[in-house]
């Protein structure tokens, strides 16, 4: 439900907040007071197109916020999750839109900035506006099949699920077939290329980490003279000694022996003696390693040439097939798989064709059953809707659920591709459109092309009444639904809306007292002059104020005692009707 609506700097509205109830809300007021502005404001947070003329004169921006309480958040949760919008634990959803004179829109959902298209995607699951406005889901032909299917409940839902699963399987097989057909088209050329690439990689006999080892070895060979000079000098200094003095190893041995002689006299000397002993053995180990490296080092110019040649080959393969040896080897496996696929493509293609025919047959059968159920459902729906329209004063109205399906003969195996691509979708092969003729002698026409706003609103009300428990859009707004009706029909419309408000939140703008008296909350919209400016105010009426407002709706601006009595009589009658229904 729409709990709170906050409007700022929109047309005649400075700063206004309306708190709606979850039942039947009515807004009344004289023509020109700004009732349509409120509906336009709601349209803004639902992602409707905005006119900069809505921005109040002298202001830089207009802003609308709507706070919704979601009884079934799972309907919009996947959309919000897709765009990373957080969902509040208490089920609240705050939609905000700010419109600037530059034409820029700032849209937020629960404080997170989103695009206008996301705002509209979420909004279409929250509110349906009927009347002189365009936020009317029933005018969207693509939505008609969803409406009909929702009326069918679990039976249709299960059939659609089956069709959807088979359709997904069928499309997946067809995509795989298309890939194989494309492979076959250039198969021989691809086979030669793949074979060449695989052989080139295999001939190199690559090993993971080989390039790093070769670079290290090359570095040693390129610097062999310097390395051996350092190694020999170190060996001489540490072990052999030189003309400049005794070897470090011999000097350390002497120091070790002398400290061993005094270690018994002091703990400090003992520790030093122990540490020198450790250093002596460590140095001995180092000298052994230096000697071994010196004796085993073999500088071979031919080996350096081999390394350069090998690294050049590896570099060439990296340029062609990948930046690392690991990726080159992984690519080789992928190429081998592609080659195997091409070599076995004809056999695989035949298997896929058999698989496709099998799935396609099941899919067509499921589509036929779904279509049959829809046609049965359509007959019931037509009767129910015509009945509702008669009660709403449209006795001569004809209504038709037109279901267009292909000639089933076109689904024969020999004409598979042509027929399937044209008709079958994840929802079956039916095309559904609602047609109506509100007046005798007129042909049936699409809903979007019919008549006046008043007739349209009553048609929408009839739809919503039939679909009451199946319709998952929680808030319905009827803008001046009373156009062209009065008397008994007005009372019927009022009772229909009241019945509808038991499963939906209803916000209704009306001029009819018969409708206004059925409301759970009644708001009066009026214009006032403040500081030389005309502004729109909305006031929630108490019982006495409501009686006066109903009397004005009955007899005009002058309120008489008879008018007040008549108003109270209507209010009392409405209360009894509501109590009986509840």
CA 305 to chain centre: 60
144 part of a folded domain? no
Average pLDDT of the chain, as a whole number: 84
Distance CA 112, CA 48 (A): 19
Supply the pLDDT for residue 82.
Answer: 87
Confirm whether 272 is domain-assigned: no
Residue ranges making up the domain that contains 513: 1-126+474-581
Closest CA to 538 of 547, 526, 546, 522: 526
CATH code of the domain containing 50: 3.40.50.300
Query: Mind listing the pLDDT tens digit for each residue in 128-152?
Result: 887 654 445 677 788 889 889 988 8
Query: What is the per-residue pLDDT for 133?
Result: 46
For residue 25, pLDDT beyond 90: yes
**pLDDT at residue 454 is higher than 50:** yes
Q: Is residue 215 part of a domain?
A: no
Under the banding of pLDDT at 50, 70 and 90, the label for residue 580 is confident
Domain assignment present for residue 20? The answer is yes
Query: How many Å separate Cα 271 from the centre of its chain?
Result: 74
Answer yes or no: is 552 within a domain. yes
- The answer to whether position 112 is within a domain reads yes
Per-residue model confidence as pLDDT tens digits over 484-494 = 667 777 888 88
In the chain, pLDDT over 90 holds for what percent of residues? 26
Query: What would the mean pLDDT of 370-387 be, rounded to a whole number?
Result: 93
pLDDT in tens, 75-124: 788 888 888 888 788 888 999 999 988 878 899 999 899 999 899 989 88
Question: How many domains are there within the chain?
Answer: 1
Instruction: Write the DSSP symbol of residue 37.
Output: H
Residue 81 domain flag: yes
Ramachandran angles phi, psi of 223, nearest 5°: -115, 30
Contact 66, 4 (CB under 8 A): yes
How far is 252 from 238, CA to CA, in rounded Å?
Answer: 10
**100 is a domain residue:** yes
pTM of the model: 0.62
DSSP 149-182: HHHTHHHHHHHHHHHHHHHHHHHHHHHHHHHHHH
Tell me the C-alpha distance between 462 and 214, whole Å.
Answer: 83
Q: Is 560 strand, coil or helix?
A: coil
- Please, which pLDDT band fits residue 416 given cuts at 50, 70 and 90? very low
Q: What is the pLDDT of residues 163-190, one digit of tens each?
A: 999 999 999 999 988 887 877 777 777 8
More confident residue, 177 or 535: 177
Token pair, residue 3, equals 């709990």
């Amino acid at each position: 439900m729409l709990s709170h609506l906050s409007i700022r700097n929109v047309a005649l509205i400075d700063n206004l907040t309306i708190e709606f109830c979850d039942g039947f809300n009515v807004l009344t007021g004289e023509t020109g007071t700004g009732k349509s502005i409120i509906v336009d404001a709601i349209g803004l947070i639902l992602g409707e197109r905005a006119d900069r003329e809505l921005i109040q004169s002298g202001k830089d921006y207009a802003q609308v916020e709507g706070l919704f309480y979601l009884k079934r958040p799972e309907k919009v949760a996947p959309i919000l999750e897709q765009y990373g919008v957080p969902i509040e634990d208490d089920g609240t959803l705050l939609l905000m839109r700010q419109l600037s004179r530059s034409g820029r829109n700032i849209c937020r959902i629960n404080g997170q900035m989103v695009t206008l298209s996301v705002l509209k995607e979420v909004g279409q699951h929250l509110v349906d506006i009927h009347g002189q406005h365009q936020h009317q889901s029933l005018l969207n032909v693509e939505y008609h099949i969803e409406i009909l299917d929702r009326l069918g409940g679990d039976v249709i839902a299960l059939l659609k699920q089956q069709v959807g699963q088979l359709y997904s399987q069928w499309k997946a097989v067809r995509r795989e077939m298309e890939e194989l057909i494309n492979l076959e088209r250039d198969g021989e050329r691809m086979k030669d290329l793949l074979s060449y690439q695989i052989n080139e990689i295999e001939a190199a006999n690559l090993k993971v980490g080989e390039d790093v080892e070769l670079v290290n070895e090359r570095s040693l060979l390129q610097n062999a003279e310097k390395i051996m000079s350092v190694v020999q000098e170190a060996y001489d200094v540490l072990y052999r000694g030189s003309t400049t003095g005794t070897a470090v190893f011999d000097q350390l041995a002497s120091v070790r022996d002398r400290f061993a002689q005094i270690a018994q006299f002091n703990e400090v000397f003992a520790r030093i003696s122990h540490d020198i002993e450790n250093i002596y053995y460590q140095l001995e180990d180092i000298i052994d390693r230096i000697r071994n490296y010196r004796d085993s080092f073999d500088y071979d110019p031919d080996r350096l040439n081999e390394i350069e040649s090998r690294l050049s080959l590896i570099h060439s393969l990296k340029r062609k097939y990948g930046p690392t040896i690991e990726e080159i080897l992984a690519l080789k496996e992928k190429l081998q798989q592609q080659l195997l696929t091409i070599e076995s493509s004809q056999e695989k293609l035949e298997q896929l064709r058999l698989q496709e025919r099998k799935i396609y047959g099941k899919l067509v059968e499921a589509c036929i059953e779904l279509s049959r159920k829809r046609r049965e459902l359509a007959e019931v729906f037509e009767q129910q809707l015509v009945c509702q329209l008669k009660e709403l004063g449209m006795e001569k109205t004809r209504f038709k659920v037109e279901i267009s399906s292909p000639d089933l003969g076109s689904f024969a195996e020999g004409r598979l591709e042509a027929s399937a691509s044209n008709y079958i979708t994840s929802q079956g092969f039916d095309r559904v459109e609602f047609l109506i003729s509100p007046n005798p002698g007129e042909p049936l026409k699409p809903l979007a092309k019919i008549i006046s706003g008043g007739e349209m609103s009553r048609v929408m009300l009839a739809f919503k009444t039939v679909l009451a428990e199946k319709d998952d859009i929680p808030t319905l707004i009827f803008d001046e639904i009373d156009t062209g009706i009065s008397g008994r029909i007005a009372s019927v419309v009022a009772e229909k809306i009241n019945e509808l408000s038991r499963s939906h939140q209803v916000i209704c703008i009306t001029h009819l007292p018969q409708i206004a008296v059925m409301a759970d909350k009644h708001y009066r919209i009026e214009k006032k002059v403040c500081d030389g400016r005309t502004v729109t105010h909305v006031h929630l009426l108490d019982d006495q104020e409501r009686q006066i407002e109903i009397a004005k709706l009955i007899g005009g601006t002058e309120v008489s005692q008879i008018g007040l009595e008549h108003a109270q009589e209507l209010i009392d009658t409405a209360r009894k009707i509501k109590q009986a229904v509840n």
